[in-house]
């Protein structure tokens, strides 16, 4: 079959051109022969067949965050869902957005967890999502709270209200050495988040907090990311003057 190609090509390129009909027929035959030869040749298309499959990027490593679970029994065995420091409003924020959120949470029966933006959407988390309409109406006109559009609104369940987290926070952090760990109320994560300086400290914190028989999914202990050190810039006369003046 391969020998047909030169003869057909020679006929097409000959100075004595065949009639248009015959030439068209020869051209079609040439194309058909080339297609058949390409399909029959095992080397043709080898790059597509032998190319290794595209590998998906490796899954990111699991973060080093650990939930604090009870030392004895299971999560269902822990009946104490209320903090020993519950209702002590001196632990509540008094300024800024968190103060507005705490005031709104006092008035919402559904247990308001958080109000935050996720991209173009506004997310409201509630312990009781069946009370979402009441929560939306109150938050929409509440001083210090963001404006809410129902067209870009998502309601999500929460384990804890913002007030629950505020009530538990002083009790939990009283057990922590602030020199080896930082802590905060993580509204988006709906938890109290403790950040340890290293794995050994994290594991020790988890063990000590487990003895408190805290409810599950309330406290998480993470490891701080490795510190990054900015490149030191050359000291200009102005910066030297500022440094000496400060001393």
Taking only the tens place, the pLDDT of each residue in 12-42 is 455 455 565 665 665 566 556 565 555 555 4
pLDDT the model gives residue 16: 54
Residue 46, pLDDT score: 40
Angstrom distances, CA of residue 192 to CA of 69, 94, 135, 163, 188: 13, 19, 23, 12, 10
The per-residue pLDDT for range 88-143, each reduced to its tens digit, is 788 888 888 899 999 999 999 889 999 998 888 899 999 999 999 999 988 988 88
Higher per-residue confidence, 131 vs 10 = 131
Give 129's contacts (C-beta < 8 A, 6+ positions apart): 110, 155, 156, 157
Rounded Cα–Cα distance for residues 128 and 13 (Å):
83
Tokens matching residue 9:
């090509």
| pTM confidence score | 0.64
Per-residue model confidence as pLDDT tens digits over 161-196: 999 999 999 999 998 887 788 899 999 999 999 999
Question: Do 124 and 156 meet the contact criterion of CB atoms below 8 Å apart?
Answer: yes
Separation CA 98–CA 95 (nearest Å)? 7
What is the C-alpha separation between 100 and 187, in angstroms, rounded? 13
| C-alpha dihedral sign at 131, 137, 140, 143 | negative
Kindly state the average pLDDT of the residues 77-90.
Answer: 73
CB 147 within 8 A of CB 123: no
The better pLDDT of the pair 160, 82 is held by: 160
* Confidence grade of residue 154 (pLDDT, cut at 50, 70, 90): very high
């Amino acid at each position: 079959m391969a020998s047909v190609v030169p003869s057909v090509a020679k006929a097409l390129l000959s100075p004595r051109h065949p009639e248009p009909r015959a030439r068209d027929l020869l051209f079609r035959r040439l194309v058909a022969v080339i297609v058949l030869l390409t399909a029959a040749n095992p080397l043709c298309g080898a790059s597509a067949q032998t190319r290794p499959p595209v590998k998906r990027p490796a899954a990111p490593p699991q973060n080093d965050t650990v939930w604090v679970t009870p030392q004895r029994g299971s999560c269902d065995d822990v009946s104490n869902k209320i903090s020993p420091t519950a209702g002590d409003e001196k632990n509540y924020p008094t300024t800024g957005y968190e103060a507005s959120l705490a005031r709104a949470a006092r008035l919402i029966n559904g247990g308001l967890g958080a109000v935050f933006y996720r991209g173009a959407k506004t997310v409201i988390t509630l312990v009781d999502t069946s009370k979402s309409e009441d929560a939306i109406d109150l938050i929409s006109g509440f001083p210090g709270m963001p404006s809410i559009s129902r067209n870009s609104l998502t309601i999500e369940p929460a384990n804890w209200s913002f007030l629950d987290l505020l009530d538990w926070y002083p009790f939990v952090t009283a057990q922590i050495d602030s020199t080896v760990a930082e802590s905060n109320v993580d509204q988006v994560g709906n938890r109290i988040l403790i950040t340890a300086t290293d794995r050994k400290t994290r594991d020790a914190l988890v063990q000590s907090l487990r003895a408190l028989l805290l409810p599950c999914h309330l406290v998480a202990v993470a490891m701080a990311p490795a510190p990054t050190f900015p490149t030191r810039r050359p000291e200009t006369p102005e910066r030297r003057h500022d440094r000496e003046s400060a001393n």
